[in-house]
Copies of this chain bind each other. A is one copy, B any other.
Amino acid sequence: MLEALKQEVFEANLELPRHGLIKYTWGNVSAIDRKEKLFVIKPSGVSYEAMKADDMVVCDLDRKVVEGKLNPSSDTPTHAVLYKHFAEIGGIVHTHSTWATIWAQAGLDVPAMGTTHADTFYGSVPCTRYLTQEEIDRGYEESTGDIIIQTFNERKLDPLAVPGVLLHGHGPFTWGKDAKSAVMNAVVLNEVCKMNLFTRSLNSFAEELPQRILDKHYLRKHGKDAYYGQK
């Protein structure tokens, strides 16, 4: 069942330690088959060395396991909520990558301070508020998804133009058209978090990127007249 997608999700999971985004089992990648309304996700707490493509778990959008011998990631309900509400995304990544987690712990939005950011994120990456006791009791992982949706709605953000978020005190989620691009967005977010922290440390008056440069860089890669890469 969904063998090609399992292989894709498996390989995207292995990208996380390769890019230095995770230690041990602290991360997970999923990807969705929109036609079947099923997504494939990493099993919970399984080591990357032992994991096989066949260990990936298939879930439906109510986060019920449809196929798989192992428990899915404990963050599965968050993935399910994101797939439900962000209709155009195809893959999701959660990590505790060092620099993005630092901004999450600091409780700050990540401002667009350079073109490395602008090439991928069209404006600030938002940081959510903490969950309330009530939200935790209702279901921590599902409420985590809800607070992300709420944050994007309140700020009127397009999840494709800003493909990531920080959870206050926790860490980043990123997404993309598929698992692979969600991983790339996780790499970018971690890197710009590192760069921006030290930019402000070097020059506390450092400005955000002017809007005209943000526009130019985002649009030369993502707009309808994009001219980066190969056709």
Contact = CB atoms under 8 A, between A and B. Distances in A.
Interface in A179-211: 184, 187, 191, 194-203, 206-207, 209-210
Nearest to A227: B74
A196 B98 CA distance: 10
Interface size class of A (residues with CB under 8 A): 35 or more
A102 interface: yes
A64 interface: no
Contacts of A169: 113-115, 209-210, 213
A126 to B, nearest CB: 16
A119 B101 CA distance: 14
A113 to B, nearest CB: 5
Nearest to A23: B187
Contacts of A114: 96, 101, 104-105, 169-171
A170 to B, nearest CB: 5
A106 interface: yes
Contacts of A71: 229-231
A130 interface: yes
Interface string A99-136: 10111111110000111100100000000001101001
Contacts of A106: 199, 202-203, 206
- Ranked nearest first, the 7 interchain pairs of A and B with the lowest CB-CB distance are A45-B229, A106-B203, A105-B199, A105-B114, A106-B202, A115-B170, A102-B198
19 contacts: A26-B119, A45-B229, A71-B229, A74-B220, A74-B229, A99-B198, A105-B195, A106-B202, A106-B203, A107-B203, A107-B206, A113-B169, A114-B169, A115-B170, A131-B212, A136-B213, A140-B216, A197-B201, A197-B202
Interface of A: 19, 23-24, 26, 43-46, 70-71, 74, 96, 98-99, 101-108, 113-116, 119, 130-131, 133, 136, 140, 169-171, 184, 187, 191, 194-203, 206-207, 209-210, 212-213, 216, 220, 227-231
